Amino acid sequence: MKQAIVIGLLACGMGLCACTDRVVYKDPSAPVEQRVEDLLRRMTLEEKVMQVTQWTYGKNMNVNNVEQEMKAVSPMIGSLLYRSTSAVFYNQIQRKAMEESRLGIPILCGFDVIHGYRTIFPIPLGQACAWNVDKVGESCRIAARESRLSGVHWTFSPMVDVARDARWGRVSEGYGEDPYLNGVMGAAAVRGYQGDDLSKSDAMAACLKHFVGYAYSEGGRDYHYTDISSQALWETALPPFEMGVKAGAATVMSAFNDISGIPASANRYTMTDILRGKWGFDGFVVSDWGAVEQLKTQGVAADDAEACRKALTAGLDMDMVDDVYRRSLPELIAEGAIAEEVLDEAVRRILRVKFRMGLFEKPYVEELPDTTRYLRPEARAVARELAAESMVLLKNESGVLPVRSEVKRIALMGPMADNWVDLMGSWWGQGEAEDVVTIREGLEAEFAGKTRIDYCAGCDFEGEDRSQFARARALARQSDLVVLCMGEKRGWSGENASRASLALPSIQEEFIREMARTGRPIVVLLSSGRPVDVRGFEGDVDALMAIWQPGTEGGNAAAQLLSGKVNPSGRLAITFPVCAEQQPVYYNRRQSARPRLGRYQNLADEPKYPFGYGLSYTNYAYGKLRVDRTTLQPGERLVAEIEVTNEGSCDGKETVMWFVSDPVASVSRPMRELKHFEKQCIPAGESRLYRFEIDPERDLSFPDATGERHLEKGTFFLEVNGQRVEFELI
């Protein structure tokens, strides 16, 4: 009797109490872990299987179908990936889950909010070029608010795949070629989406993706095999994910790719040993779309059952849309091929996120009008500022920009000039074309009363139609300046959008050259989701600015840069190679055995525009790089400072990038590695001090092929803007 009481008390303490009527999982004051355990022990096998399942209804936007769809949504489903902005719809399905399912477990509603929900910000590659960590965080905060107010709890963002092959269409979705920059921006995005408390009504769960190595797909072909050395995995692919996990990311998405023979979605080493074992991640992993089923195509599973067993036991908790888990798990568990505890662990991780999000207490969303939810002035302001800072001025001969006051007529041409759809880029969330300020609208507003803007498309994105060339030529000749808006359609980058050549279609290059022949100064605004091979026209133009796919406020941002209201401050987060054949070309490569030899006989070695490149309308003078010591020991700090003066006549924002080199180590190191950066506003005529404190453990150590970090004594170099100082770790 005495023993029974003790056991009863213990069980109560752990939330497993069956001796009172208190339903612990429904009690918001109980700790999350107790609520999870309490709920888990009440669940049937079927209910658990439904929790690890995500369904979708494709792109069905027809409001008249809501009732029909509603009937199809199981109230027991763990998650729904659906495209609807209707809070009414989400409340309806949530009501079904809360009221019609036995245990009332809310559905986690996910959607790809990649660079904005209704207010669309620049594509992530553009955001990285802004080097403005706070602004990136703010944009995610706004995206989270707009999403959560619409019933969406979970975004499949940020993507922190370090991407070095511009042929891969998804370079547009990440933060460029550097692991540290991806990590810093990814962590800012996680904090922006999630805020300090996931249960707040303006926070949404983030999802770090694609775990891991997806950007290594062979030849830049999407979904392809990736051959990743253990060294590259640890020093390039994994670090941004680790930074995102440390920032508190609630979820992670397993990638499509096969990592050197073990597909990412069946990879126990990455999903369990590293993510959980080494980093202590306690959220859940969702597969990419159909990635469990694809284990069969990838040649590691003979049938659905084997795919299910491999994925779940490797640590993949939720199955996105292919329904393999739901169809296979009951039998696999019944026959003992998978222990029920493995499923329990996956369910536990999913429930934990739902509890942390406060969904059990607040499953419904307030049904507010669009004007309250979307495109508020502060959202548009952030979209405009981030877009302006993301744009990179690549060329500006004889100071053709900013547009001078003598310019009375601008000829505005090209397929992007009066285009709103492509300006949003791939993954435009719930962005609407009518919300977008086109470049034409932006220029007309910015130059109103000062400069006349004459528009003519002139040419299309591709094809052979030259019928507007003559008109365009005439218009150019009547103008003082020609602004050509060229580039890629939004479908030319993003998922399943690999391109063998980085050049624009020949019609666009020909059109630019034709306009240049008029003798008028030519400015090209280049909109793309990747670096472009500019050989076909760059020599013919006076100014070139990469504007990426800048989103809702893109037209205003571009116009403010052209007028000089905003000084360009974007810097490349990814190298512009001369052409696709020059790849791989990225700044942090390793030294060749014979540095001056081994180059292509028929192609330059230097990229067209390197990582970190970008011009401004002002001049920044860098003072001498100072360090407070030239030797340091582990545990000590080396403080480096540099003063930057804005010597021009307009205010500007300057990003200082700090690189470290380690010329001799037990594992060879990249020639330079970005370790820190900072962007500051420097008013004209003023100076600002930039500072970097080297922490040896953080900044000078490196991982080996097993992930173990080494801090080795010896000579290092610190480099800023071409200045280098040597120091010793003793």
**Catalytically annotated residues:** 288
Sign of the CA dihedral running 51, 57, 59, 62: negative
| 495 sits near ligand NOJ (criterion: CB under 6 A) | yes
Distance of alpha carbon 223 from alpha carbon 258, whole angstroms: 9
* DSSP codes joined into one string, 251-306: EEEE-SSEETTEEGGG-HIIIIIIIIIIT---SEEE--TTTTTHHHHTTS-SSHHH
Q: Which is nearer to ligand NOJ, 289 or 420 (CB)?
A: 289
Q: Which is nearer to ligand NOJ, 289 or 658 (CB)?
A: 289
Q: Which is nearer to ligand NOJ, 172 or 390 (CB)?
A: 172
- Name residues contacting ligand NOJ, limited to 212-271 (CB under 6 A): none
Distance of alpha carbon 468 from alpha carbon 115, whole angstroms: 35
CB under 8 Å to 364, separation ≥6 — which residues?
91, 94, 95
367 in Cβ contact with 95 (< 8 Å): no
Each residue of 54-87: b (16+ CB within 10 Å) or e? Answer: bbbbeeeeeeeeeeebeeebbbbbbbbbbebbeb
Distance of alpha carbon 107 from alpha carbon 674, whole angstroms: 41
263: nearest Cα among 231, 306, 321, 325: 306
- Name residues contacting ligand NOJ, limited to 657-686 (CB under 6 A): none
Q: From the centroid of its chain, how far is CA 661?
A: 27
Size of the site for ligand NOJ (CB under 6 A): 6
The pair phi, psi for residue 244, each rounded to 5°, is: -70, -35
Q: Which is nearer to ligand NOJ, 320 or 638 (CB)?
A: 320
Q: Say which residue the tokens 């400072």 belong to.
A: 641
Q: Which is nearer to ligand NOJ, 111 or 374 (CB)?
A: 111
Q: Which is nearer to ligand NOJ, 492 or 537 (CB)?
A: 492
Choose, by CB under 6 A, the member of 112, 177, 293, 319 that binds ligand NOJ: 112
Distance of alpha carbon 214 from alpha carbon 174, whole angstroms: 11
CB of 288 to ligand NOJ, least distance (A): 5
Q: Which is nearer to ligand NOJ, 222 or 441 (CB)?
A: 222
| 161 sits near ligand NOJ (criterion: CB under 6 A) | no
Choose, by CB under 6 A, the member of 156, 193, 420, 447 that binds ligand NOJ: 156
**Cis status, amide bond into 369, omega within 30 of 0:** no
| 209 sits near ligand NOJ (criterion: CB under 6 A) | yes
CB of 550 to ligand NOJ, least distance (A): 21
| 115 sits near ligand NOJ (criterion: CB under 6 A) | no
195: nearest Cα among 125, 230, 156, 148: 148
CB of 320 to ligand NOJ, least distance (A): 7
CB of 286 to ligand NOJ, least distance (A): 9
CB of 209 to ligand NOJ, least distance (A): 6
| 146 sits near ligand NOJ (criterion: CB under 6 A) | no
CB of 279 to ligand NOJ, least distance (A): 21
- Name residues contacting ligand NOJ, limited to 559-588 (CB under 6 A): none
76: nearest Cα among 54, 47, 56, 55: 47
| 154 sits near ligand NOJ (criterion: CB under 6 A) | no
522 in Cβ contact with 482 (< 8 Å): yes
Residue 225 CB burial class (10 angstroms; 0-12, 13-18, ≥19):
middle
Kind and range of the H or E element at 72?
A: helix 66-72
| C-beta nearest to ligand NOJ: residue | 156
Q: Which is nearer to ligand NOJ, 37 or 258 (CB)?
A: 258
Binding mask 281-300 for ligand NOJ (x = CB under 6 A): -------xx-----------
Distance of alpha carbon 367 from alpha carbon 476, whole angstroms: 51
| 428 sits near ligand NOJ (criterion: CB under 6 A) | no
CB of 213 to ligand NOJ, least distance (A): 14
CB of 136 to ligand NOJ, least distance (A): 18
153: nearest Cα among 65, 93, 63: 93
- Name residues contacting ligand NOJ, limited to 359-418 (CB under 6 A): none
- Strands 638-646 and 626-627, bridge-based pairing: antiparallel
CB of 168 to ligand NOJ, least distance (A): 12
Q: Which is nearer to ligand NOJ, 110 or 696 (CB)?
A: 110
Kind and range of the H or E element at 412?
A: strand 409-413
Residues in contact with ligand NOJ by CB under 6 A are 112, 156, 209, 288-289, 495
